[in-house]
Amino acid sequence: MTPPARHDRISFVAGPSAEAQDALAQLAARYGNAEPDNADVIVALGGDGLMLKTLHDYMRTDIPIYGMHRGTVGFLMNEFSTVDLHSRLDASRDTVIHPLLMRATDVHGEVHVHHAINEVSLFRQTHQAARLRILIDERERMSELIADGIMVATPAGSTAYNLSAQGPILPINAALLALTPISAFRPRRWRGALLPNTAFVVIEVLEGDKRPVAAVADHDEARDVRRVEIISDKTISMRMLFDPGHSLEERILSEQFGY
């Protein structure tokens, strides 16, 4: 008896756009649509936003996720095709990523715990700049940063908001995190830091009543925070699948040369 294909049972998820929903209908008719809990692989049809949502939804399942571009931004997606999907999946290469864990304590003492695949960001909530204190591994590294905010980005997220804020692009397999200020006023020429991915980052909000700050882990927000703790969560490993020659490693490398 021929053994079943490694990715025989496929579960499809799709974004709300007509393009993504049409792709879902075509692929489900051709390959079936398994329940996620019984699937060998989840195929996400949409853009990068849908990929991030799918990674969050199935973060603890160890089910690999393969994206096909049927949305706006497709940096994390493979090219769309309805042809020979089983062979493409079997030939795909996986990239393992770990999310960030954010613990944000607000003015009332409530602790908000969320994971981030791209970045954890702190933002000023009003017209006044935030005043922040930065500690790395319980050692003060900056007594005061005056800025619109700051973020900690993973290699997977380094080409997203981090890059827009002039942060560095990190190779996907680099054991690093990017600590990037957002419109820093003081120190005026500080452009951030590269941290080992084992670093325990603490950001304390100074003058929080006068200069309130929000903390955001990808899309989960906590308002009026006073202290934010960030660490890479090695207990969670997510597997993203890419076609040969189009790996996330290659895309991030190409991004550094302007492609």
By percentage, how much of the chain surpasses pLDDT 90? Answer: 81
Residues facing 44 on adjacent strands:
13, 67
CB 229 within 8 A of CB 165: no
Question: pLDDT class for 249, splitting at 50, 70, 90?
Answer: confident
Q: What is the pLDDT of residues 29-45, one digit of tens each?
A: 999 999 998 999 999 99
**Burial class of 69 by CB neighbour count within 10 A (0 to 12, 13 to 18, 19+):** buried
CATH class of the domain whose range is 100-232: mainly beta
Q: Is 22 annotated as catalytic?
A: no
Residues in the chain: 259
Residue of 22, 37, 40, 48 with catalytic role: 48
What is the rounded CA–CA span in Å between residue 195 and residue 168? 12
As its CATH architecture, domain 10-97+236-255 has 3-Layer(aba) Sandwich (3.40)
Q: Look up the pTM and report it.
A: 0.86
Regarding beta strands 238-242 and 93-97, do their DSSP bridges make them parallel or antiparallel, or are they unpaired? antiparallel
Three-state DSSP state, 256: coil
Domain boundaries, given as residue ranges, for the chain: 10-97+236-255, 100-232
Per-residue pLDDT tens digits for 121-141? 999 999 999 999 999 999 999
Q: Are 119 and 152 in contact (CB under 8 A)?
A: yes
